[in-house]
Amino acid sequence: MPSPIGHALAGVAVAYAGAPRLDRRVTLTAATLAMLPDIDLVIPGRHRTVTHSIGAVIVVTIVAAAVTAKVTRRGGPRIVAVCAAAYASHLVLDWLGVDRTLPYGLQALWPFSGRFYISDWDIFGPTERIGLFTASAMLMNLKTVAGEVAILGPIALVLWLVRVKALARLPPKLSGGHHPAE
């Protein structure tokens, strides 16, 4: 399964692709939401269950809509969509990752199904959580992070460059009056 670094990069890419403007707060929120499903690691035997599901994505969407309605008047639906997509990106990356722990996969369709799903495409390498500071675990995790950065880093970079270039063409009033790299 992907590392927190890979999940955060996916969240950043989602923010760059969909946020109404380049905003550090939205980008940080998206990166955090993309890592959030792994909060279930603190509950023994519950990893890749409820927090790794469409049910959790629905809850995050509802909470994001409520928070966004209180915080902003503009761009609300897009920010909510970015939050939902950032959280859902975690599920997609895990589904595309190597899983060495039974049961393999994640309960992606909970509460509609308790079945575990995995793609077997193994695009993202495994991570080791036991013996974290042993040479073999650190090497495995380093390889996985390097692969994630090689795949997701260019995607995030290209999306950022496209946004910066597109925003640079807009007059300040249409771009929100902010520097494109904000």
Instruction: Give the tens place of pLDDT for each residue, 22-57.
Output: 899 999 999 999 999 999 999 988 999 999 999 999
Amino acid, single-letter form, for residue 175? S
112-157 pLDDT per residue, tens: 999 999 999 999 999 998 888 999 999 999 999 999 999 999 999 9
3-state helix, strand, coil in the chain (%, to 5): 60, 0, 35
Peptide bond into 20 cis (omega under 30): no
**pTM for this structure?**
0.90
Contacts of 156 (CB under 8 A, 6+ apart): 9, 12, 13, 16
